[in-house]
Amino acid sequence: MNRLELPENWDWPSIRTELAIRMREVRFDLYGEHGGPLLASALHLPFHRWSDYERGGPIPGDVLLRFLAVTRVEPHWLLTGQGPKYCVSV
């Protein structure tokens, strides 16, 4: 099992920005350029809230877990941008 190397000094603004970029990329992949309202609905969120997250706003843990479940995104890829983007069927 590979261990994730964590930085000693966390750069939270950069982490949020990179996470938002990857979440937006997944939304484009699965719902298209104008699919924000569809994804927000699937996550049981108002669209304006989802839009805040795509702009780098803080994401509550329960929303992040729903995003992982709905999109089948690999958590490691979402965090780091490395490895496979989506979970493969077993």
Closest by CA position to 79, among listed 33, 19, 1:
19
Entry pTM? 0.84
Question: Could you tell me the pLDDT band of residue 90, with boundaries at 50, 70 and 90?
Answer: very low
Over the stretch 1-22, which tens digit does the pLDDT of each residue have? 566 666 677 788 888 899 999 9
The backbone torsions φ and ψ at residue 89, rounded to the nearest 5 degrees and listed phi first, read -65, 145
Over the stretch 56-88, which tens digit does the pLDDT of each residue have? 999 999 999 999 999 999 999 998 899 999 998
